[in-house]
Amino acid sequence: MKRRPSCTGVDQHPKVNPCETNNGGCQHRCLYEDKVLSCACEPGHTLQTDGRSCKETNPCETKNGGCQQKCVFKDKKVFCECEPNYILQADKRSCKEISPCKSGNGGCQQKCHYKNKRVTCGCKAGFELQPDGRSCR
């Protein structure tokens, strides 16, 4: 019977880094340390539950992107917007309420009053407010 040659104390298997083939199955970065493969994502992305794919992070999903009211994420940038009757301030994040009476007289024909987030219309002397609550005759 012939004996097969054997080596002792020598690793017969070459060390293979799985990251060198198809990036280890990782979408972005493949890390291989202590015989453990793990995937990581580039900044602005989050590793998904499959542990391999990455998704672009939407900053609006965390603390509303720093916006007081509306957050819009477009072209990898955050833009803040305001609700109707509010105007975006110089910091581009906060909103200040504006009276609807300052725009189109709040829909009133003659006088506009804005209090407690409510518009009420009125008429000049000699005119009467009509049933629509906005026009005067």
What average pLDDT is seen over the chain? 90
Architecture in CATH of 99-136: Ribbon (2.10)
Superfamily of domain 18-56: Laminin (2.10.25.10)
Residues in the chain: 137
Considering the entire predicted model, what is its pTM?
A: 0.53
Locate CATH 2.10.25.10 in the chain.
18-56, 59-97, 99-136
DSSP at 3: P
Architecture in CATH of 59-97: Ribbon (2.10)
What 94-97 contacts at long range (C-beta under 8 Å, 24+ apart), as own/partner pairs, is: 94/68, 95/68, 95/69
| 48-59 pLDDT per residue, tens | 999 999 999 999
